[in-house]
Amino acid sequence: MLRVGINGYGTIGKRVADAVRAQPDMEVVGVAKTRPNFEAERAVAKDYPLYAAIEDRVELFDDAGIELAGMVEELVEESDVIVDACPSGVGEQNSELYAEHDTPALYQGGESAEFVDTSFNARSNFADAVDADHVRVVSCNTTGLSRLIAPLGEEYGVEKVRATLVRRGGDPAQSSRGPINDILPDPVTLPSHHGPDVQTIFPDLAIDTLGLKVPATLMHMHSVNVTLEAEPDAAAVRDLLADESRLFVIPERFDIDGAGALKEYAQDAGRPRGDIWENCVWGESVTTEGSDLYLFQAIHQESDVVPENVDAIRAVANAADAAESVATTDDALGMGI
């Protein structure tokens, strides 16, 4: 069993912990938190050993009557792999701690790509992370684009990607974020930084991205144009995408008209927290005009990176190859809705 520790138990960390626990070849050693909030309460209720991330805050846990298993240093020492899911920038600061204990570490998409050995997407570059010490699982948007580009590139060749990312203003619990009633070009300069982030996975890819932020919390929406090196018909592209386990091609008969209905569907399907780990591509939107492909896809920002973290754990531990790992992860989570 691979022993996995999770440092930073927020939106991403708590989902990764549950996904790791669901795997047949992994166990959660514990999770580290900075304060005894509701998420700490739930971690204890789920029997995750809780470690304090900051020495000065131990008293707060004592006052709240929450028993600690130890300090984060002990968690790092006891783990075969650590998943850092701290806020952007904190992961890089933590990287020294992981290096001191010789514990391979995964970081999230908010971290810089500069200090890690490789950025990671299971479908696209699993092998680059094998035996690596510091691996960054790319952001929700970059994960969503990479999963789409990989099969298109293999099947047809990709000349150029142009994508407009209509991004949610914040996650549902992030009440301080916005906009509340506006539509923001964000960043206003073009192209946006998202394209270069995709190039951390596909270094030679020609890609331009534009970003906006809107008053929504449920999902991101991508409007994608890929110029291919072939001229397939739309049905062939739809079949290609539908064959990918982490791409959900929404059938027309489902009558799903947006992110709200998608989330409702995920909840009806019994998904934990209403999570949607797959890219959601509208089948009717898949259109070709010569070598140009167009489509819309929705990305559940809080959860699409979760199966990727699980695969990255196996990669750094050299515990499986890409196909084995993805199949195991998908099966354990119940991928496919």
Residues forming contacts to ligand NAD in the complex (CB under 6 A) are 7-13, 32, 34, 39, 53, 85-88, 90, 108-111, 139-140, 171, 301-302, 305
71 versus 184: smaller Cβ distance to ligand NAD: 71
Residue 290 contacts residue 231 (beta carbons within 8 Å): yes
Q: Give the shortest CB-233-to-ligand NAD separation in angstroms.
A: 34
Helices 38-45 and 11-21 cross at an angle (nearest 10°) of 10
Helices (H), the chain: 11-21, 38-45, 58-63, 72-78, 90-100, 122-125, 140-156, 194-198, 234-242, 259-268, 306-316, 322-333
60 versus 242: smaller Cβ distance to ligand NAD: 60
85 versus 228: smaller Cβ distance to ligand NAD: 85
Which among 104, 211, 237 is positioned nearest to 158, based on CA atoms?
237
As a whole number of angstroms, the distance between CA 5 and CA 17 comes to: 8
As a whole number of angstroms, the distance between CA 49 and CA 6 comes to: 10
The C-alpha angle with vertex 166 and arms to 301 and 89, in degrees rounded to 5, equals 50
Helix, strand, coil: what percent of the chain each, to 5? Answer: 40, 25, 40
86 is known as an active-site residue: no
86 versus 226: smaller Cβ distance to ligand NAD: 86
50 versus 53: smaller Cβ distance to ligand NAD: 53
In which region does residue 89 sit, left (phi positive, over 0), alpha (psi from -120 to 50) or beta (all else)?
left
In sign, the C-alpha dihedral spanning 29, 33, 35, 37 is negative
Which position among 16, 52, 140, 163 bears the catalytic label?
Answer: 140
Q: Give the shortest CB-118-to-ligand NAD separation in angstroms.
A: 16
Q: Give the shortest CB-168-to-ligand NAD separation in angstroms.
A: 8
5 versus 104: smaller Cβ distance to ligand NAD: 5
Q: Give the shortest CB-186-to-ligand NAD separation in angstroms.
A: 15
DSSP symbols for 215-269: S--S-EEEEEEEEESS---HHHHHHHHHTSTTEEEE-GGG---SHHHHHHHHHHT
Q: Give the shortest CB-237-to-ligand NAD separation in angstroms.
A: 27
As a whole number of angstroms, the distance between CA 245 and CA 123 comes to: 10
Cβ-closest residue to ligand NAD?
10
Q: Give the shortest CB-304-to-ligand NAD separation in angstroms.
A: 8
Tell me the catalytic residues.
140
